[in-house]
Structure 1
Amino acid sequence: MIHTRLVPGDRVRLTVAPKGFGSENMSALRMFTPAATRQDLVDYIVGVVQKAGSNPCPPVVIGVGIGGDFEKCALLAKEALCRPLSRRNPNPDYAALEQELLEKINALDIGPQGFGGQTTALGVNIETYATHIAGLPVAVNVGCHVTRHATKEL
């Protein structure tokens, strides 16, 4: 898939993120209503990982997209996989949610390759976007333990 975005200036930034379908098949998107609570989102995201079990070759990296529309939300989740795990979301509320999700996912005891243990996920990254007041799309893009990407500016 190739996505483009116009930006000011005379440079182009390319990001390549090769991804296998073992983890891609475990990804999911749900259109919540605005009545959904924070806990509803936590339960959904953790549930996606729990349902995936050992299929995406854990330990996994979880990219979460919140907002936009159906299409934008999925792209946000994929872009979240490209953020370094050492860099939290700049919004303190979302950074706290990333940490909470990581702890709950690691408590599932799926572990590396599904053999059990406390390292089911290496990280959870959340990206957000404005959305229509009538909806709250949430996408979960699962990345396997070899989640990889590279960026080059030309």
Structure 2
Amino acid sequence: MQVEDLVEAIRLLETVLPPDVEGRLRGALGRESGISKMVVEAILENVLYAKERGVPMCQDTGILEFFVRCSNDHEEIRNKIAEALRRATREVPLRANTVNPFTRENEGTNLGRSHPIVHFEGRPLNEGDIEMDIIAKGAGSENVSASFMLDPMQGVEGIKKAVVQAVQKAGAKPCPPVVVGVGVGGNLERSAYLAKKALLRPLNEKNPNRNLAELEEELIEKVNALGIGPMGLGGSTTTIGVLLEWGHCHTASLPVSVNIQCWALRRISLEWQGKNFRILR
């Protein structure tokens, strides 16, 4: 795994919107009218400008989070990710976002205590390969994400209410149309992890569980019925997708986390097979 590969991947992550996300935004364009349609047109113009000029599509280049599947060498991989972040901050460039939460001191590298944020998720399909997903998450949408510890008796209806409540409370702050990642189960922190991980699934890939696929579609309808619309100016499209991940939980718990993502869903998937590197999506 070469640091140069990662720096280039981070550049693409920040400057080129995934085709499935752009496709959903273009779909929204056909549903909107008046000022809401003008907002979506402006978003798509921004997407094109960023791609053509090779500049970040948003001034908040976010906190980057890495999901890695590898056989071993975790510390070496973490160190290479840190070096790639340091270089990308200068070269892309990325805005230096990471600060000491108490003093607000900024080292200017997008690194620091507990950074980079790397999740090692087990082994890849082939021994020796490295698979990686990266997501960049800005503060506007992360700040309005939420976790709920529901009574198990609230069941699926409680999950629906939690998702809709979180989006309604967020309003225009996360720059809608949003993508909503939902994590159900595990415990408090696991549900939050699952909600973030849910955002890695392409919007045009249905949930493999038929019941959950139907639940995602129902939640899209409920969220869009809120009428918040593009940038909070009203309209038919408050969300362009709801994605759900789940895990088993304690019999007396029902953890639910809602990770709200702005229209600029910046994610990329990478693979190294020996020295051969490729971008999967």
TM-score (norm 1): 0.97
Does residue 138 in structure 1 map to residue 260 in structure 2? Answer: no
The 5-angstrom pairing of residues 5-154 of structure 1 reads 5-7=121-123, 9-154=127-272
Q: Number of matched residues?
A: 154
SS in 2 for 1:130: strand
Displacement of 1:33 in angstroms is 2.1
- For 1:3, the equivalent position in structure 2 comes to 119
Query: Deviating runs (4+, > 6 A) in structure 1?
Result: none
Aligned equivalents of 1:6, 1:120: Cα separation in 2: 35
Q: TM-score, structure 2 length as denominator?
A: 0.54
For 2:123, the aligned partner's letter is V
Distance 1:38 1:128 in 2: 12
Q: State the one-letter code of the partner of 1:143.
A: Q
Shift of 1:6: 2.1
> Amino acid of the residue matched to residue 47 of structure 1?
Q
- Name the SS for the 2:240 alignment partner: strand
The structure, 1 or 2, with the larger RCO (C-alpha pairs under 8 Å, 6+ apart) is 1
The two structures, once aligned, show a CA RMSD in angstroms of 0.9
Cα distance in 1 for partners of 2:245, 2:119 equals 17
Task: Give % identity.
Answer: 47
Partner amino acid, structure 2, of 1:102 = I
Q: How big is the shift at 1:37?
A: 2.5
The one-letter code sitting in structure 1 at the alignment partner of 2:141 is S
Q: Which residue does 2:95 correspond to in 1?
A: none
CA–CA distance in structure 2, aligned partners of residues 47 and 35 of structure 1: 18
Q: Cα distance, 1:12 vs. partner?
A: 1.2
Secondary structure, counterpart of 1:79 in structure 2: helix
Deviation track 1:86-129 (CA, whole Å, cap 9, x = no partner) reads 11211111111100000010010000000100100000000011
What one-letter code is carried by the residue in structure 2 that aligns with 1:37?
G
User: CA offsets, 1:34-72, max 9 Å, x none?
Assistant: 211221211111010000000000000000000111111
Unaligned runs of 5+ in 1: none
Partners of 1:123 and 1:130 in 2: CA distance? 24
- More helix, by proportion: 2
Paired residue type of 2:178? V
Q: Secondary structure at 2:120's aligned position in 1?
A: coil
**Separation of aligned partners in 2, 1:61 and 1:24:** 12
Describe the SS at the equivalent of 1:3.
strand
In the alignment, structure 2 segments of 5+ residues that lack a partner are: 1-116, 273-281
Q: 2:188 & 2:161 partners in 1: Cα distance?
A: 20
